[in-house]
Structure 1
Amino acid sequence: MSDYTTISLRKEFVADVEAYIEDEPFGSVKEFVKHVVVQEMESDEGVSEAEAKQIAQKLRDLGYME
């Protein structure tokens, strides 16, 4: 049997994702997030450390990360 963990996301973020995927073939936010993460992990185009820091700062500025 597989072990699972929980990731907490702000309700506002989840609502934004739900609106974004409304007309997409994803059954849930969980399914969409898993798809995006797997796609990014399999991508040959990596994110540089500087880009990762910029993304993290933008997410903090938007209130999605602390």
Structure 2
Amino acid sequence: MSEYTTVSLRKEFVSDVEAYIEDEPFDSVKEFMKHLVIQEMEREDSISDEEARQMAQKLRDLGYME
């Protein structure tokens, strides 16, 4: 049996993602996010730690992360 965990996202962010994937072949935000994470993990040209920090700061500045 698989174990699961929960990731909390701001409702406004989820609404934005739902609107974005409306015409895409994803049935849910969860499915889309899983696709993105797997895609990123498989990329050969990964981002640096500094780039990751900068992206996280931008998401915090936009209110998507705390």
TM band (smaller chain): over 0.9
Percent identity over paired residues: 76
2:59 aligned partner: 59
CA distance in 2, matches of 1:65, 1:13: 9
1:46 aligned partner: 46
In the comparison of the two structures, how many residue pairs are matched? 66
CA distance in 2, matches of 1:49, 1:31: 26
Runs of 4+ in 1 over 3 A off after TM superposition: none
CA distance in 2, matches of 1:45, 1:26: 25
TM-score, length-normalised on structure 2? Answer: 0.96
CA distance in 1, matches of 2:11, 2:65: 12
TM-score, length-normalised on structure 1? Answer: 0.96
Structure 1: 5+ residue runs without aligned partners?
Answer: none
Aligned alpha-carbon RMSD (Å): 0.6
